[in-house]
Each structure stands twice: as C-alpha cells, then as structure tokens.
Amino acid sequence: MTAVPLVEIAAVIRSKNAGPYELTLDVVFTTREWYERVVAAHALTAEVVARAYGVPVEDVLHLVEFAPAAAIKATLRRPLVCGDPGETDVYGAQQHAPLLALVLDLP
C-alpha cells in the first residue's frame, strides 16, 4: 500500500450547500487513472468522510462516484439549517478543510 495525500491527486476539493439542509463535498481527481484507483481501492468512502468530519456515518447521506467527471461526491447533513442561529458558513463554501488533510491508502 502507498499513502497518497488527497491534495496531490485532486484538482478540485470543495464544499457547498445542496439546499439549506445539506452540505455537499466534491473531489475531482487530476486524472481518470487516480479516480479509478481510488474507487477500486474503496479508499474514499462514507466511513472515511465521516471520520474526517467527526460525524456519525449516518450523517453522510450520500456518497456517489461520478465517472464522467472523475469525481467522488459526498453529501453530509448540515450541522445547522442554513442561516439558523449559530451559523458559521451560510454558503457552506469553506467546509472542505478536513479533506485537505486526508491521506489515502492505495495499493
């Protein structure tokens, strides 16, 4: 196994609201080869995302591998409904940082 930092094989790592109740995370890989290696190794799963964000895996509502964009998308339950008291990020656009620190184990 090789430890590969996600930032080295992803061209895009971003977060954004998907409606007021969900936060969606996109990872677009630099090449189709990296995408396929990550998918084949099950290296970026709902469990991995839940651990990175310190949330129960049930809060990862979807995890979708999207081949046309060589991308993996995970959608989390928002910690607060968008704009509710205590909100820290109305657009959800700066919630990607835990993914920047991920290191994937790839064969």
Partner 1 sequence: MLGMPSGDHDSQRSGPARVPGPAPGSLPGTVPLMAPARAIPQAGELRILAPTAILGYGFPEASFEAGLARDPHVIAVDAGSTDPGPHYLGSGTSFVDRDAVARDLRLILRAAVARRIPVLIGSAGGSGAGPHLGWTYDIIRSVAAAEGLRFRLALISADVPRERLSAALAAGELVPLGPAPAATPEAIAATTYPVAQMGTEPFVAALDAGAEIVLAGRAYDPAVFAAVPIRAGFDAGLALHLGKILECAAIAATPGSGADCMLGTVRSDHVEVEPLAPQRVCTVTSVAAHTLYEKSDPYLLPGPGGVLDLRSTTFTQVTPRAVRIAGTVLRRTPYAVKVEGAVPAGYRTIAIAGIRDPVLIGQIDAVVAAVRAEVAANLGVDSSAYTLSVRMYGKNAVMGQREPYVGPPAHELGLVIEAVAPTQRLASQVCGAARSTLLHIGYPGRISTAGNLAFPFSPSDLDMGAVHRFSLHHLLTVSDPLELFPIRVEQVGGAS
Helix locations, 41-79, DSSP H: 46-53
Nearest to 102 by CA among 40, 31, 29: 29
In the complex, minimum distance from the CB of residue 2 to partner 1, in angstroms, rounded to a whole number: 22
Interaction mask 33-72, partner 1, x per CB under 8 A: ------x------------xxxx-----xxxxxxxxxxxx
Q: Can you say whether the dihedral through the CA atoms of 95, 59, 82, 11 is positive or negative?
A: positive
CA angle 100, 49, 58 (to 5 degrees): 155
Q: Which is nearer to partner 1, 4 or 29 (CB)?
A: 29
In the complex, minimum distance from the CB of residue 78 to partner 1, in angstroms, rounded to a whole number: 8
Residues lying near partner 1 in the complex (CB under 8 A): 11-12, 16-22, 24, 26, 28, 39, 52-55, 61-73, 75, 77-79, 81-91, 94-95, 97-98, 101
